[in-house]
């Protein structure tokens, strides 16, 4: 009677176990997206939205000044 020995190292291999590899890829994707969102939010929060000063012609203003 030949019996195959079950090796626990084979279950931990990412190349042979599809469930483990898909779970790992899922967690890496979630971590990457979360890091991207937090990084962008912190950049916007630190720099803020600065309102630019735009030159407007005097004839185009709300109360225009004509020559």
Would you state the structure tokens that stand for residue 5, as one six-digit string? 């020995």
| Residues comprising the chain, all counted | 67
Q: Which two tokens stand for residue 25?
A: 């890829």
Q: If you average pLDDT over each of 4-8, 41-45, 59-63, which comes out highest? A: 41-45
What confidence score (pLDDT) does residue 65 get?
80
pLDDT at 14: 62
pLDDT beyond 60 at 3: yes
CB neighbourhood size of 19 (10 A): 8
Q: What is the mean pLDDT of residues 38-64?
A: 85
What is residue 63's DSSP assignment? S
User: Which pLDDT does position 35 carry in this prediction?
Assistant: 97
pTM of the full structure: 0.50
**Mean pLDDT across 42-52:** 82
């Amino acid at each position: 009677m030949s019996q195959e020995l079950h090796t626990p190292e084979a279950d931990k291999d990412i190349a042979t176990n599809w469930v483990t590899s898909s779970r790992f890829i899922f967690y890496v994707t979630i971590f990457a997206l979360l890091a991207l969102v937090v990084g962008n939010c912190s950049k916007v929060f630190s720099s803020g939205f600065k309102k630019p000063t735009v030159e407007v012609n005097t004839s185009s203003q709300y109360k225009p000044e004509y020559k």
